[in-house]
Amino acid sequence: MRDASGPAVEAAGLVKHFTSGKKTTKAVDGVDLSIPAGTVFGLLGPNGAGKTTVVRMLATLLRPDAGTARVLGHDVVQDADAVRGAVGLTGQYASVDEDLTGTENLLMLARLYGFRGTAARTRVSDLLEAFSLTDAGSRQVKTYSGGMRRRIDLAASLVLSPRVLFLDEPTTGLDPRSRNQVWDIVRVLVDDGATVLLTTQYLEEADQLADRIAVIDHGRLIAEGTSSELKRSVGQGAVDLRLADASRRGEAADVVQRVLGTEPTLPTDPYALSARVPDDGAHLVAQVLPALGEAGIAVPEFSLGQPSLDEVFLTLTGQPLPDEQGSEEPAPAPEVSR
């Protein structure tokens, strides 16, 4: 069950600079966070926005240049060992040894964490079963598929059942089936009481998993709220149309723009058309279909819904999210699952 007794992660005014030659870059510029225990908090942003740098500071892998942060009440600088003993981290890249088998990787970590004999083997067996890797446990990790590698990496970060789990782009490059498997694992962990900080560029992922979402750009948090709150912040909603005749989409777009006053977007589907409803334009929605009818444009499907997170992100940052994640800070040190 979820524990909403207080914040599991807190940060105030976090700042981090990186210097390369004569150039200094402020990767994180005064970030404040408060993440309630037993929730999923999504940190959404484009390449270089500062997501990974924030996670690495909270996980004690980087020392903040300014500001403070506490994880489960422990200061990440003054009480770093206590933080490390209570958190798990899965970074953007696999942290397991590819020349070892899945079982050998987990056994090594279990023994490093103090498990011995039967207790170590039982813990490893339970993790392999939980992540659907029992049959692959005796194989070298370098023979695993991308989805299997991410699952073994997640398993490695959970050897000690951490109360706080940092997931930095956990599903980048995975196929939809593997991504859904990771999502299911995250849901189970949170239902069992864990707190998860998830960085992602996948809008659907944030929408599906996060209780609250913060948007970060150029090292600053520029918005925070639930998915619904963020969507409401950019307008009243969106009109979605499906036309009977794709050749008349241009005409339909002109009619919709004239009625609503906003420029429609044209999806890849040639029969589809969408337009955002302006903040003061809810009364105009009822005029769209009559106007299209007068123009002789048949519309077999019409719906009104909230803006998507894609539209939220585009409105807030002025740029769409790319599909994949790149490195944020220069020459990052290797990450180790804890």
Annotated domain spans of the chain: 7-231, 235-306
Report pLDDT for 203.
80
Give pLDDT, residue 161: 86
Spatial separation of the C-alpha atoms in residues 208 and 309, rounded to whole Å: 11
Instruction: Return the pLDDT at 319.
Output: 64
Band the pLDDT of 36: cuts 50, 70, 90: very high
Q: Is the pLDDT of residue 331 over 60?
A: no
Reference 149, options 163, 136, 159, 130; nearest CA is: 136
Sorting pLDDT into bands at 50, 70 and 90, what band is 5? Answer: low
Confidence (pLDDT) at 172: 80
Please give the span between the terminal C-alpha atoms of the chain, in angstroms, as a whole number.
23
pLDDT at 237 > cutoff 60 = yes
Is-contact 47 219, C-beta < 8 A? no
Q: What is the mean pLDDT of residues 324-331?
A: 43
Average pLDDT over the chain reads 87
pLDDT at position 310 is 72
Instruction: Identify the bridge partners of residue 71 per DSSP, sorted by sequence position.
Output: 9, 74
Between 310 and 302, the higher pLDDT residue? 302
Does pLDDT of 232 surpass 80?
no
Cβ-proximal residues to 85 (8 Å cutoff; 6+ apart), any chain: 160
**Neighbour count for residue 233 (Cβ, 10 Å):** 13
Please, what CATH class does the domain formed by 7-231 belong to?
A: alpha beta
Quote the pLDDT of residue 277. 85
**334 has a pLDDT exceeding 60:** no
Is residue 150 very low, low, confident or very high in pLDDT (cuts 50, 70, 90)? confident
What is residue 258's predicted lDDT score, i.e. its pLDDT? 95
CA separation for the pair 49, 34 (Å, rounded)? 19
- Whole-number pLDDT of residue 87: 93
Confidence (pLDDT) at 300: 95
Q: What pLDDT shows up at residue 200?
A: 87
Identify which has the larger pLDDT, 218 or 320. Answer: 218
Amino acid 328: pLDDT: 47
Q: What is the largest CA-CA distance in the chain?
A: 79
Q: Give residue 122's pLDDT.
A: 96
Confidence band, pLDDT 50/70/90 cuts, at residue 95: confident
Q: Is residue 94 over pLDDT 70? A: no
**Burial classification of residue 247, based on how many CB atoms lie within 10 Å of its CB (0-12 exposed, 13-18 middle, 19 or more buried):** exposed
* Backbone angles phi and psi of 104, in degrees to 5: -65, -40
Residue 85 CB-density burial (10 A; 0-12 exposed, 13-18 middle, 19+ buried): middle
Q: β-strands 40-44, 195-200: how paired? A: parallel
Amino acid code (one letter) for 133 = L
pLDDT of residue 337: 41
Looking at per-residue confidence, does 244 or 229 come out higher? 244
pLDDT: which is higher, 325 or 308: 308
- Within 8 A by CB and 6+ apart from 240, the residues are 272, 273, 274, 301, 302, 303, 304, 305
CA 60 – CA 86 distance, rounded (Å): 12
Region 235-306: CATH code: 3.30.70.120
Residue 321 pLDDT: 57
219-228, 252-261, 322-331: which range is least confident on average?
322-331
Give the mean model confidence (pLDDT) for residues 23-32. 94
Q: What is the pTM of this model?
A: 0.74
Q: What are phi and psi of 77, to 5 degrees?
A: -100, -50
Tens-place pLDDT, residues 160-208: 889 999 999 888 878 888 888 889 889 988 999 999 999 988 888 888 9
Give the sign of the dihedral formed by CA 234, CA 170, CA 48, CA 50: positive
**Beta-bridge mates of residue 239:** 275, 304
Q: Is the confidence at residue 35, as pLDDT, over 60?
A: yes
Predicted confidence at residue 335, as pLDDT, reads 42
Residue 135: Cβ within 10 Å count: 9
| Higher pLDDT among residues 331 and 68, named by residue | 68
Q: Which two tokens stand for residue 216?
A: 């970060």
